[in-house]
Structure 1
Amino acid sequence: MKAVLGPTNTGKTHLAIERLCAHSSGVIGFPLRLLAREVYAKVCAIKGEAQVALITGEERIEPPGARWHLCTAEAMPVEQGEHAFVALDEAQLAADRERGHIFTDRLLHARGRDETMLLGSATLEPMVRKLVPEAEIVGRPRFSTLSHAGAKKLSRVPPRSAIVAFSAEQVYAIAEMLRRFRGGAAVVMGALSPETRNRQVELFQAGEVDYIVATDAIGMGLNLDVNHVAFAGLSKFDGVRQRRLTTSEMAQIAGRAGRHQRDGTFGTLAGTGSHDAEFTDEEVYAIEEHRFPPLAKLFWREADPRFDSLAVLIADLEAPPGRDGLVPAPEAIDLAVLKRLSEEAEIAETVRSPATVARFWEACSLPDFRQVGVENHARFVARLWRDLRHGLLGSDFVAQAIAQLDNVQGDIDTLQGRISAIRSWAYIAQRPDWVLAKEEMTARARAVEARLSDALHARLTERFVNRRTAVLMKKLGPDAGLLPVSLEGEDVLVDGELIGTVRGFRFVVDPVARHEDHKLLLAAAERHLAQALSERAESLADAARNGDAALTLRAGAIEWEGQRIALLEPGRNPLTPQIALDRSLDAVGQGARERLAGALAAWIERELAPLAPLRRIEAASRADDAGPELRALLIRLVESGGMVERQGSGLDDLGKEQRTKLARLGVRVGALDVFVPAMVKPLPLALLRTVAGDAGTRPASPLEAMPPVIPSGRTRTAPGYRKLGKQALRLDMAEKLLREAHGARVAKARKPFVLGSEKAVSMGLTPASYAQLLRLAGFRAMAPRPLPENACGPPAPVRWRWRPPRPRRRERAAPRIRPDNAFAALAELVR
C-alpha cells in the first residue's frame, strides 16, 4: 500500500492511471463526477469501452464483465479483495465537513487485492502514518514553480488566466467585464453539469477565449493551460459561516497555474473593494514553498450502521469514533433529512422493520443536487417515500417529472436549476430497486440533461463571449500586421469571424455588436482593411473601364452599390465636371486611388455622351471666328440646357453666315424658341441636372417620359416644355403646330384663314391652350360674323390673321453730364 502525496501538478493521477492499467482489474474513486468521466475516457482509449465502467450517483455505464471501474468516492465498491488495484484520489478531503466521512471510510477500508494507493496533499501525511501505518509514503515534487505576482487590475490580467470568485454573482460580473474589453471568458461553477463544464473548458483550451472565470470548483478536477490565477477574494461561505480560505485551499486553487513543466503565477484582483483580498507574506511563502499545516483530524461517521429502528440508526450515525485522530462528522444533509422526517409520526409509522429502515435511509441519502436546504429537500424525499415504501416508483410518475424539466428555454439561472433537478432524477433512475423501466428512465434523464447542458453552454457563450472582440484582442498587439482580414462579398471577416460589412468603401460595424465594441471594431478595420480596400478599388477600376461596373450618377455624385464613391466638382463648365474621390476611400492606397479616379473619369465621359450636342455648342462658343453676337447666344444655350426663348435671345443680331453656323450646330430656330432638338429628351435633361454642381442653379427635374402635353405645375415648368395656361407643350411639338399655322397663312396670301385644331387636340391640347400658343406666336383671332336674323346653321369658324409684333426702336439715353464738368454751364446756355 502506497500513499502518494504532494502538491498539485505532480502527476499523481497520471501515476494512478498507469498502475490501474497495469493490473488485471481495478477501481479509482474520485471526488467529482467530472474527474471520473475524464479518467474514464482515458482508460477507455487504452483498454476499450467494453472493459471499462463508469459509476457515479447520476450516471452508470457498466458493460458486462467490465474489469476497470472509475467511480465517485461514494459509489466505490469497498468489498475487500474484489479488485486487484484500488486508489482513492484527493484523499485529503477526509477533512471536509460535508463529505469527509466518506473519504475517511474509503481511506480506512478500501483495499486492493494486490495494490492500494492513496493520492492527496502532503498535509495528509501525519494522518496516514497514524491511521494506515502500513502505507509507504511517497513524495511527489511539483513539476513547475509557482510564484506570487501581486495584485492586478482586471484590465491588466494577462491572457491565459483564470479568475476565481466565490459567488455566482461575482463570477457573472467579472465575466461581463471581460466580455466588454477582452472578448469574454469561459465560466466554470460547481452548479454546471459535467457536459456544460467541459464545453466551457473547451472554449478556453481551444483558445477561443483567453480567460476563464470560475468558483473554487476550478481547484479540483480541471487540468487547464493556465499561466496565472487571480483571486477576486480570499474568503468564502463554507455552508456554516463566511471565513478566509486556508493556505491549503489557496494552494489547491493557485496550483492550477503552470501545468507540467511550465511555471505559473498567482495573485489577487485589484479594485474589488474587499479588505481581505490580499495575501499575507506567510500565505505567499506557504503557497510558493508548498508548506502547509498538517491535518490533525479527519471526520468519521459509522459506515455500517444498524437498522433495527430509526432511533438505533440515528444513534449509530451520531456515535463518536473509537479511534485517535478521528472526530465525529458534522451533521450532513442526509442525516438532517433522516432526523427531520423521523419526527413526523405519519412517516415514522411506515418505517418499522430493519429492511424498511435500511430502505428509508437510502432514500434520505439522496444528494441535495438542487441545494434547496434541509426542509425543502426533506419534502422531496417524503414524496418519494410515499411510493418507495410500497415498492417501486411508477414509470409514469418518473417520466412525467423528467418531461417537466425537458425545457431549454430560460436564462442561465433557470437552466442551472433544471439541470440540478434532472441530476436528482438521474440519480433516482440509477437505483435498480427504485424505478420501474430503469433503463428507459435512465436514458430519458441523460437525454434531458444533455439538452439542458447544450442550452446552458449556449447561454453562457452568448452572454459572456464576444468572439469578434476575442479574435481582435488577440491580434491587435505587436503582431497586428498578421491579422487575417478578408472580404467575402461585402462581409469583413477576421479569422473567419464577421466584424462588419463594407458598403462601397465605407466600413459599417456589425449592427448586432454591442455599443462598447464599436470603437474596437472600427480601429481593427482602419488598421487592417487598407490592403483589402485597395484590391477592391483595383477591381472596380477594371470593371469601370470594361463597362461592367454597376455605377450610377445621382445628384452630382457617382454611386456604387448604393454608396457615394466620388463627387462631381465644377470644371471649366458644367459639361466637363472633375472627379473628386469620396473620403471613404482615404484608406485606399495612392496608386489604387489614382487608377480608380482615371477609370471613373473615363466612365463619366461615356455617361455624358448624350450631352455631346451641348458640348459642340460650348466648343463653338470659344472659337475665334464665332463673333460676339453668336458667342453670346451660344453661351446662353449652354447655360440654359440647349433652349432659350427667341424673343430677347439676340437672334435678330446675327448675320446670314452666323445663322448658318447655328444650324450646323444642330440648333433649331423656332417661332417662339431657339433650341437643340437632341436635348428635348429625358436622358440628356436628366444628365444635365445631375452634373449641375450648384443646387440653386440646377434645372427642374425632367420627366422620365416626355409626352407632348402635360399639366403645368404651380412651380417651375419641366425642362423642354412651354407653359400654356393649365397645360405645358413640348417645344418641338409647339413648333410643329406653329409651322402648320404659318403654312395655312402663306396659302391664303395674307388673308384671314381658318385653322383646324385636330392635330393639337390629338396631342392633348385643349382649345384654350392652342389658342394661347397661337397668340404667343403673333396670330390674332377674328370674331366670326353673326348669322342674319332668322337664319339658322352652324356658326362661322374663327378666322386668324398674323400680326407679328414689331421690334421696338432702341431709344438712346441722353448722356449724363457731371455737374463739375467744364461744359456743364455751356449746356445750360444751349438749353
Structure 2
Amino acid sequence: MNFHPMILSGRGVTAVLGPTNTGKTHYAIERMVAHGSGVIGLPLRLLAREVYTRVVEKVGTNAVALVTGEEKISPPNARFSVCTVEAMPRETNAAFVAIDEVQLAADLERGHIFTDRILHLRGREETLLLGAGTMRPILERILPGITIVERPRMSQLFYAGQKKITRLPQRSAIVAFSADEVYAIAELIRRQRGGAAVVLGALSPRTRNAQVGLYQEGDVEYLVATDAIGMGLNLDVDHVAFAQDRKFDGFQFRHLTPGEMGQIAGRAGRHLRDGTFGVTGQVPPLDDELVERIESHEFQEVKVLQWRSKALDFSSLRDLRESLEVAPTVPGLTRALPATDSRALEHLCRYPEILDISTTPARVEKLWEACALPDYRRIAPAQHADLISTLFFDLVRRGTVNEEFMAEQVKRADRTDGEIDTLSARIAQIRTWTYVSNRPGWLTDPTHWQEKTREIEDRLSDALHERLTKRFVDRRTSVLMRRLRENAMLEAEISVNGDVFVEGHHVGQLAGFRFTPVSGAEGPDARAVQAAAQKALALEFEARAARLFASGNSDLAIGSDGFVRWLGDPVARLAASDHVMRPRVILLSDEQLTGNARDHVLARIERFVNHHIATVLKPLDDLSRAEDLQGLAKGLAFQLVENLGVMFRRDVADDVKSLDQDARASMRRYGIRFGAYHIFMPALLKPAPAELITLLWALKNDGLDKPGYGELIPALAAGRTSVVADPGFERTFYKLAGFRFLGKRAVRVDILERLADLIRPLLQWKPGTSPRPEGAYDGRRFMTTTSMLSILGATPDDMEEILKGLGYRADTVTAEEAASFLAAQDPAPASEATAEAQAETAEKTEDAADESASPGNEPVTEAPVEGPVAEPEAAAAEANEGGAAAAAEPEAPKPVLLWRPAGRNENQRAGRPQQGERRHGRDEQRGEGRGQGEREAKGPGRSNRRPDGKPGRGNRPERGERPDRGKAPQPARFEAKPPRKEKPVDPDSPFAKLAALKEQMKK
C-alpha cells in the first residue's frame, strides 16, 4: 500500500490570492529564481511553455527543465522545473515550490489532482499557492497557520454590454465552449474583419502557441477561444466577449458560475490598462448583480475541494477499487467523481483476461499506471479501455510496449494532408503515443520514440496552424493592419491592367475612373487602406484623364447597353435628352477625378458621342439639318427624323400625294426612298446604323430593359433579310431596325419593296400578250414565285402570311384549272406549256433551295411552289419508276393560290395600297398582323384550304360558281356574261374616241 500522509499545516506556506492581472505568476517566477532550486506547477501546457520561456530568459537553457505529460526537456544540471500540475513530482527536495490557479481544486474533473498537490507537496524553504481570492476561507480551514497575501488588480474592469460580433472592437477575445462554435465565429470574423486566431484546448501546444503568436504579434486583431484563455495566459486583450454562457464540464451542460466568468473576463486589460467585457451572439445581456460582482471581483467562496485518496491498496483489483472510494475525513474535502483513470479501471475490471492476469500487487499497480493514459482522442470509454488493455498486456508479458504495434499506430498519424478536423484527430492520436514514450520503463528505446513522436506532432501542429491560418486569416489584411499600427506610410501601385496594390497586396481594381475594392474590405482599417490607395489613384486619375483627352476615336466605343467605353472600361453612360439624336453624357468616375481633368474628360466623351452619331447616322443627321427643303417636304423630313428613318407610307399618304416632283427630287437627294409600303432611308438599314437607332430610341423611351432589346437587336443587326418573329418582344425594335412584322416573320422593309417590284409587272401584264412573265395569271391576279421566296428567305406558308399582311387576298383554284387556263393564255400547245411549266418549276425550286442556304437567309422548308404542277399521269409514272409491282395511287395535287390586291378596284396595281393596306395597318398596330384575307380565314396562320386539298369554308367561290360536294373537281368553265345595257355615249367625249381607237387596233 502506498500512503502519502496529509500535511494539515500551513507553516511555511504563503497563499498569494487575488483577481486576474495582479502579477501573481510574475511574482512566483521572481521568487523561484531567487532560490537555488525550485518547481512550479501550472494548469495548462500552453502556460507551462510560456513560463518556461520566461525562466530560460533569466537563468539560461541548461538550468531549466520542462516536464508535461507529453513533453520533457531535462538538462542534466537543471535546477528549476516548470511542470503541469499533473506532471509535478509527488515528492521533491527543491527549495521552492509554487502551485498556480489553486482554485481549480474545486473542479469536478481535475480538482482532486490540485488538492493532492496543495496538501502534500512542499518546498524546503518556501511554498507559494497562487489563486483567486475565493480560496482564502478553505485554505485557512484545511491549512491552519498559512500566510495569506492579497494582491489588488492593477487595472479596472468595466462592462460594455451586448454587441454584434462584427461590431466588437479590435484586440477582442471571443469566448465559446465548442469547436464548431469557435470555427463559425472565426469564419465570420475573417469575412467581415480580416481574420482571427483560434485557441482550443484540443490543439497541441505548438499550434496554440503559433495561433497566440498571430494575435500577439498583431497579424490579427481578434482571438476566438475556449475558456483556456482564463487560465493565466498573458494576452494583450482589451475586451472579452462571451458568445456562449454554457459549457460541458465533463459530466453535464451547465451555466458558467460567476467566478468562472470573472476569471475569463479578467483576461481583459493588462498591467495598468483597463479592460472591458460583455456578451455577443445569442447570449442575453448580463444582469446588474452579476456585472457588479465581476467588476468588483466579489464571488462566492469555495467551500469544498475535490479529493481522492492517494493511499491506494494494490493488493488486488478489488482492494484498489475500494481504496479509490474512500471518503475524506478532513472537513472541507469531498470525494471526487470518477475521473478518466478510474472510469477506465471500472471497464477493465469487467474483462475476464484482465482479472486473470492481475493477480499480484505489482501487476495491479502497473494496470493503474496504464489507466492514467489521458483520453486525448475523446473517444468512448470502452474504446479507450481497449487501448489501455493492449498496453497493459504488453507491459506484463513483454516488459515493454510492443514497438511494432506502436510503429504501426504512429505511422497512421504521420500524414499532414487533410483539413482541420482530420489533422486535429491525428494530433490527438500522436499525443497518446508521445505520452507513452515519456512514461519511464514503458519502451525499450524511449529516446527514439520521444524524438519521433515529437517530430510528427510538430509537423502536424505546423500543418494545423497553416490550415487554421488559411481558413480564418486573410493574410493581406493582417499585413496591412500591422503596417497601420506602426504608423508607416503605405505604398500603393497600379498595374497595367488596373489592379491596385498596397504594400504588395491586391486591394482592388481600377476600371476607367472608378475604383472597386476587393470583397471583404470593411471596417476602419479597410478605410485606412483605401485612403492609401486613393492617394495613388488621384495621380493615376489625372494621368488617365490626359491620355483619354488625347486619345483617338478608335479607343472609344458605344455599347448596346448605353455605356461609353475607353479601352474596354466604362467611363460614361448615355441618358435621354430633349433631342433623340443628342443624348446626355453622364460621367462614371470617383470623387478623385475633379477640376479641369474632369471637365476635359467629359468634353472629350461628348465630342466623341456626337461625332459617332453624326457619322453612323449621317443620312439622318444631314436630313435633320436640311435647309433646302420647304413646305410639305420639310414637314415630311421632320417626321422621318422623329421616326428615326422609317415610316409606313399609309400614315403619310395624303402628304406624299401632295408632293410635287421637285419636292420629291429634293428629298431623294438626301437618300429617301418612296416605296410602295414604306418611306425610308436604305442607308440606315445596315447593321451599325440599325443598332445605334434602337439604342437611341431605348434611351428616349426607357427601353433598355424592355423585352427583346438584349436578344433581338444583335439578330436584327446581323444583315438578315427576314427573321422568325417573336410576339413576346417589343415590336418597336423591329421597326427601328428596319423590319416589318408580318405574320410569323419580320421582313426588312427594303426587301418588301423589292417584293413590290416583282409583283408590279405581274399585275400590269395583259392576257394574250407574249411572253407571259413568271407568276402572272390573268392580269388581275398573280402566283408566288421562287424569286419571291428567295429574296424573303421564306417558305410558301410564310409567304401566305406576308402577302396577307401586305393587304393581298387569295383565291384558290385547282392545279388542273390553273394549268388549263395558263395553256389557253400561252401561244404554245397545252402539253408543251405543261412540260415547260414542270421543268421551270423544278429548276426554280432547286435555285430557291440553294439561295435559301446562303448567308443572311434562313433555310427554306422544301414545299411545292404554287403554280402549274405535273399532270397525274406523269406523277404515276414517276411513282412506278424503279420496278414497282403496281401503279401507285397519285396524290391529289395541292391547290394554287392566286393573289390579288384587296380593295374595291381589283385592277389597282402593287405599290398603290388603298383600303386593304390601311386596314392592315390598323390591325398591325393592334398586334394582330393579318389582312382581310386572313380574317376571312377565321384565325391567324390558318390555311385557305383543307388538308385534303379541297377549298375550305373560308374560301368562297366567285359569284356565279357553285361547287358540287362529293364530286370530282371539274375543269374550270369560263362563260361569257350577258351583255350589259350600255348607256348612250357622247361621240365627242374622249372616252368614245379612245374606244374607237381600240377597235381599229383589234381589226
8 Å contact kept, 1:182–1:470: no
Q: Distance in 2 between matches of 1:721 and 1:80?
A: 103
The residue number in structure 2 matching 1:87 is 98
Q: Could you list the per-position Cα deviations for residues 158-216 of structure 1 after superposition, in whole angstroms to 9, with x for gaps in the alignment?
A: 66555556666877888799889988876544344434544554565566776655544
1:288 corresponds to which of 272, 289, 296: 296
Question: Cα distance 1:395–1:676, how it changes in 2: closer, same or farther (>3 A)?
Answer: same
| Segment of structure 1 superposing worse, 10-19 or 229-238 | 229-238
> Which residue of structure 2 aligns with residue 397 of structure 1?
405
The aligned residue for residue 201 of structure 2 is 190
1:220 is displaced (CA, Å) by 0.6
Amino acid at match of 2:353: E
Q: Is 2:75 the counterpart of 1:72?
A: no
AA in 1 matched with 2:130: L
Counterparts in 2 of 1:552 and 1:713: CA distance versus 1, 3 Å: same
Give the one of 20, 31, 42 matched to 2:43: 31
- The yes-or-no answer on 1:618 pairing with 2:623 is yes
Which residue of structure 2 lines up, in the alignment, with residue 365 of structure 1? 372
* Bigger mean CA offset, 421-430 vs 325-334: 325-334
Corresponding residue number in structure 1 for 2:631: 628
By how many angstroms is 1:260 displaced? 0.9
Q: Flag the 1:629–1:349 CA change in 2: closer, same or farther, 3 A.
A: closer
CA distance in 2, matches of 1:727, 1:320: 100
Over 3 Å counting, the alpha-carbon distance change for 1:500 and 1:23 in structure 2 is same
Q: Where does 1:236-635 land on structure 2 (aligned, <5 Å)?
A: 238-239=249-250, 248-265=259-276, 272=283, 278=287, 280=289, 284=292, 288=296, 293=301, 299=307, 301-302=309-310, 309-310=316-317, 331-338=338-345, 340-342=347-349, 344-372=351-379, 375-390=382-397, 391-404=399-412, 419-431=427-439, 433-435=441-443, 438=446, 441-442=449-450, 445-446=453-454, 449=457, 542=546, 544-545=548-549, 546-547=551-552, 549=555, 551-554=557-560, 557-558=563-564, 565-572=572-579, 574=580, 576-581=581-586, 596-611=601-616, 613-614=618-619, 617-618=622-623, 620-621=625-626, 623=627, 625-628=628-631, 631=634, 635=638
Q: Aligned partners of 2:294 and 2:828: how far apart in 1?
A: 131
1:534-580 Cα offsets, whole Å, 9 max, x none, are: 969877755543247554331655457586941242554x5x32224
Please say if 1:5 is aligned against 2:16. Answer: yes
Query: How far, CA to CA, are the matches of 1:771 and 1:164 in structure 2?
Result: 78
Partner Cα distance (1:453, 1:401) in 2: 18
1:248-300: per-residue Cα shift (whole Å, max 9, x none)?
Answer: 545433432332112335567798579xx64758x945972668647776736
What corresponds to 2:776 in structure 1? none
* Residues 748-800 of structure 1, C-alpha deviations (whole Å, 9 max, x = no match): xxxx9999xxxxxxxxx98779999xxxxxxxxxx99869x99xxx99xx9xx
CA distance in 1, matches of 2:405, 2:261: 45
Q: Which residue of 2 aligns with 1:762?
A: none
User: Per the alignment, do residues 99 and 728 of structure 1 end up closer, same or farther by CA in structure 2, a change over 3 Å counting?
Assistant: closer
Partner of residue 139, structure 1: 149
The match for 2:237 among 202, 226, 232 is 226
TM-fit CA distance, 1:396: 3.8
What is the rounded CA distance, in whole Å, between the counterparts of 2:235 and 2:677 in structure 1? 92
1:446-493 Cα deviation digits (max 9, x unpaired): 56655665676688789988999999999xxxxxxx999999877799
Shift of 1:94: 4.4
Separation (CA, whole Å) in 1 of partners of 2:68 and 2:910: 117
- Which position in structure 2 is the counterpart of 1:120? 131
Q: Which amino acid aligns with 2:201?
A: G
**SS of residue paired to 1:600:** helix
Shift of the 293–666 alpha-carbon distance from structure 1 to 2, 3 Å rule, reads closer
**Superposition deviation, residue 35 in structure 1:** 0.8
Deviations along 1:51-70, one digit per CA (max 9) or x if unpaired, are 64432112234456555432
1:309, 1:353 within 8 Å by CA — same for their partners in 2? Answer: yes
What is the distance in 1 between the residues matched to 2:215 and 2:394? 45
Distance 1:124 1:618, change over 3 A: same
The 1:58–1:653 alpha-carbon spacing in structure 2 relative to 1, beyond 3 Å, is same
Q: State how far apart, in whole Å, the 1-side matches of 2:370 and 2:268 are.
A: 41
* Change beyond 3 A, Cα 1:56–1:636: same
Q: Measured at CA, do residues 551 and 80 of structure 1 come closer, stay the same or move farther in structure 2, by a change above 3 Å?
A: same
Displacement after TM superposition at 1:89 (Å):
2.5
- When residues 675 and 498 of structure 1 are mapped into structure 2, their CA distance, relative to the original with a 3 A threshold, is same
Cα distance between partner residues in 2 of 1:340 and 1:389: 19
Is 1:217–2:228 an aligned residue pair? yes
Q: What does 1:775-814 align with in structure 2 at a 5 Å threshold?
A: none
Q: 1:541 to 1:679 in 2, by over 3 A?
A: farther
String of CA shifts for 1:50-102, please: whole Å, max 9, x gaps: 66443211223445655543221222345644x56543333444454544454
Deviates more, 1:221-230 or 1:688-697: 688-697
Tell me how far apart the structure 1 counterparts of residues 33 and 403 of structure 2 sit (CA, whole Å): 39
TM-score of the aligned structures, taking structure 1 as reference length: 0.66
| Matching residue of 1:820 | none
- Residue in 2 that maps onto 1:149: 159
**Structure 1 vs Structure 2: percent identity of aligned residues?**
40
Asked if the contact 2:434/2:450 (under 8 Å) is kept, the reply is yes
Deviation at 1:347, TM superposition (A): 1.2
The answer to whether the 8 A contact 2:39-2:82 is kept is yes
User: 1:13 Cα deviation (Å)?
Assistant: 1.8
Q: CA deviation at 1:32?
A: 1.1
Output the amino acid matched with 1:260. H
C-alpha contact 1:426 1:442 (8 A) present in aligned 2? yes
The alpha carbon displacement at 1:33 in A equals: 0.9
Q: Which deviations, in whole Å up to 9, do the C-alpha atoms of 1:514-536 show, x marking residues without a partner?
A: xxx99x99x999x9999799969
**Which letter does structure 2 place at the counterpart of 1:578?**
P
Aligned length, in residue pairs: 749
1:725-736 equivalences in 2 (<5 Å): none
- Partners of 1:256 and 1:219 lie apart in 2 by 6
Partners in 1 of 2:364 and 2:229 — Cα distance?
38
Query: Could you tell me whether the CA contact under 8 Å between 2:693 and 2:737 is conserved in 1?
Result: no
Q: Helix, strand or coil: the match of 2:437?
A: helix
Q: Secondary structure at the match of 1:377?
A: helix
Asked if the contact 1:85/1:112 (under 8 Å) is kept, the reply is: yes
Q: Distance in 2 between matches of 1:669 and 1:291?
A: 101
